[in-house]
Amino acid sequence: MSEIINLKGRNLVEPNDFTLQELDSIFDLADKILADPASYQEVGKGKLLATLFYEPSTRTRFSFEAAMLRLGGQLIGFDNPDFSSVSKGESLVDTIRTVACYADLGVIRHPREGTAKLVSKGLSNFEMPIINAGDGGHEHPTQTLTDLMTIRHEKGTCNNLTIGLCGDLLFGRTVHSLIKALKRYEGNKFVLISPKELKLPDSVKDLLDDDDYIETDNLDDVIDDLDILYMTRVQRERFVNEEEYLRLKDYFVLDNKKLQNARDDMLILHPLPRNEEIAEEVDVDPRAKYFTQARYGMFVRMALIMKLLGLENA
């Protein structure tokens, strides 16, 4: 039996906080839970997860809450900072430090970029690990775990793939995190598909070698090259200018007509929620895996919770 990789007490602020071997250990555990969820329904008994959502979320929050409850653990938290001490002028770090006195593990989402890093530094003398559940347009590492697990299951590998990322690549934090993660695997190529106003920021593009990516604003030109098409929503909440949002929101719409030229084994992924960028008619296409992806998300979060709490041996 292989040795268990211990991640107890570690934070997850950005995807590269874990080595590929450590990521694999999370996916391996997620696979075991997926195969036999009943065996894990009590491993989190007596443990408390704090969900600290300073920004609206349905999928990610429910996914974490479902994950903790399915492990037999319990929850505290808020999804509206107006009801927390934020409204009393307490600093963010102090709020989380106080929560760390009660909970075993914290999950934070915040509209400001870099918040999870700040909180992880503020918690250096506390035992509670913190998980970044999205910080503005910056990073969303647990979505990346979800994406990688889906790719691993549906493609059998995370290596030597051509991945098209389409839509809002500027503010799309899931895209930033996924590129950083997939870049560490071998032989991956990226096709960046966006209007020029929503191109990938230089800070992420600079991580790639020039030969590893192309940029285009035309999905039709490249769809037949792709192993994976990762669609994203143009996010109204990231725009200061409403007119700009309205102009760009329907720039790319994936429908059955566009898919005619795609490969039979191309995966269509989306972090959800979607708006108009994927037509509902695509949902029944066997290549559409975005709801499967959401399901994997819960299992990989169960595995992550177990790893960070050191429950794998329990």
Partner 1 sequence: MLNVDKLKKGIVIDHIEEGKGMDIYQELHLNDIEMPVVLMKGIHSEKMGKKDLIKIETDIKLNMDILGLIDPDVTINYVSDGKLVRKEKLQLPEKVTGILKCHNPRCISNYEDVGDIDFYLVNKDKKIYRCEYCDSYTTFH
Choosing from 51, 60, 115, 144, the catalytic residue is: 60
134 binds partner 1 (CB under 8 A): no
Q: Is residue 112 annotated as part of the catalytic site, yes or no? A: no
**Dihedral of the alpha carbons of 164, 169, 173, 174, in degrees to the nearest 10:** -20
Q: Is residue 88 annotated as part of the catalytic site, yes or no? A: yes
Candidate ranges 129-137, 153-161, 228-236, 298-306; the one touching partner 1 (CB under 8 A)? 129-137
Return left, alpha or beta for 272; rule: phi > 0 is left, psi -120 to 50 is alpha, else beta: left
One DSSP character per residue, 207-224 reads TS-GGGEEEES-HHHHGG
In the set 112, 197, 255, 275, which binds partner 1 (CB under 8 A)? 112
Residue 113 CB, nearest approach to partner 1 (Å): 4
Choosing from 47, 70, 140, 274, the catalytic residue is: 140
166 Cα distance to chain centroid: 16
87 binds partner 1 (CB under 8 A): no
Q: Which residues pair with 105 in a beta bridge?
A: 49
89 Cα distance to chain centroid: 30
218 binds partner 1 (CB under 8 A): no
Q: Is residue 238 annotated as part of the catalytic site, yes or no? A: no
| Residues whose CB is less than 8 angstroms from the CB of residue 13 and which lie 6 or more positions away in sequence, other chains included | 116, 117, 120, 130, 132, 139, 141
Residue 291 CB, nearest approach to partner 1 (Å): 30
Q: Is 278 helix (H, G, I), strand (E, B) or coil?
A: strand
The two three-digit tokens of residue 174, written as one number:
């899931």
Candidate ranges 201-209, 227-235, 260-268, 280-288; the one touching partner 1 (CB under 8 A)? 201-209
Report the catalytic residues: 59-60, 88, 109, 140
Contact residues toward partner 1 (CB under 8 A) are 91-93, 110-115, 117-118, 135-138, 201-204, 206
